[in-house]
Amino acid sequence: MEKKLTEKELKKLNSKEGLLALLSKPLNIDRAIRYVDYQRKLEKLQVELIRLQTWAINNNERIIIVFQGRDAAGKGGAIRRLTERINPRHMRIVALSKPTEDEQSQWYFQRYVEQFPKAGEIVFFDRSWYNRAVVEPVNGFCTEEEYKIFMNQVNDFERMILESGIHLVKIYMSISKKEQAKRFADIKSDPLKQWKMTKVDERAQELWDDYTDYKSAMFLNTNTEISPWKIIRANRKTEARINVINHILERIPYDTSLEI
């Protein structure tokens, strides 16, 4: 028996977002309605992000948003939705590549500190110093001693960040092993996405349990009262993006009555 649509649902499908969603294949009415709801929620939250940024600019606030998570967990997609409507002159996305020889000789946190926000700026870290907590030890990119030093220093490092007046939000995007495999297959089959697949990604499924062990140790040792982690369930991308924005808006004490 075919589902009878309500007048409200028909209006959603007859909107610009609804018509675009209906054009996607395969045709799925329920998914199209969910997409319209998502777009409308996203737009309202993006208005709040503009208000948050305006508050930060007006008050010389500095904000760091850290994104961690398994490969293909949706970190980049969430960051794009966070940044697509705000003023690009007062924000930066930082995704550091492999450290240079000079950087390898420096204090581990140094190259991240060099990317910290100036007054009135928001910096989004697409992976951060927490690479040393999970990715590096799992893949043999650091020694056991370097890992231990990091774990011994990171909480003090973040305490100093917070005491300096910088707002710090830590987000972990969490997906299932099955969903990661599905996303990897999608990336490999899409010429526009294939560049995303790295040698580290290729081993992610094989090393799944090792990642889990180090991830658990990271949460156990660095989920502090002053600098907690927020785990975002990310198997459904649209829901995850909404939850990410909501969490940031809740964590940062911006002026919600500010006119923009």
Look at residue 70 and tell me if it is in a domain: yes
Nearest residue to 15 (alpha-carbon basis) of 41, 33, 30, 29: 33
CATH of the domain at 221: 3.40.50.300
Give the mean pLDDT of 65-71.
98
Q: Are 46 and 54 in contact (CB under 8 A)?
A: no
pLDDT of residue 126: 98
Q: What domain range is 213 assigned to?
A: 60-251
Tell me the pLDDT band of 1, cut-offs 50, 70 and 90: very low
Look at residue 30 and tell me if it is in a domain: no
Task: Locate 39 and state its tokens.
Answer: 């777009």
Look at residue 201 and tell me if it is in a domain: yes
Beta bridge partners of 94: 125
Look at residue 210 and tell me if it is in a domain: yes
Q: Which of helix, strand or coil describes residue 87? A: coil
Q: What is the distance between the alpha carbons of residues 125 and 222, in angstroms, rounded to a whole number?
A: 17
Look at residue 197 and tell me if it is in a domain: yes
Give the mean pLDDT of 90-109.
97
Number of structural domains the chain divides into = 1
The Cα angle at residue 137 between residues 133 and 139, in degrees rounded to 5: 130
Look at residue 40 and tell me if it is in a domain: no
pLDDT in tens, 134-180: 999 999 999 999 999 999 999 999 999 999 999 999 999 999 999 99
Look at residue 86 and tell me if it is in a domain: yes
Q: Is the dihedral of CA 184, 189, 192, 194 positive or negative?
A: positive
pLDDT of residue 30: 76
What pTM, to 2 d.p., does this model score? 0.91
Position 33 pLDDT exceeds 90: no
Amino acid in the structure at residue 222: T
Q: What is the distance between the alpha carbons of residues 190 and 168, in angstroms, rounded to a whole number?
A: 35
Look at residue 207 and tell me if it is in a domain: yes
pLDDT over 70 for what percent of the chain?
94
Position 240 pLDDT exceeds 60: yes
Task: Locate 97 and state its tokens.
Answer: 């590549």
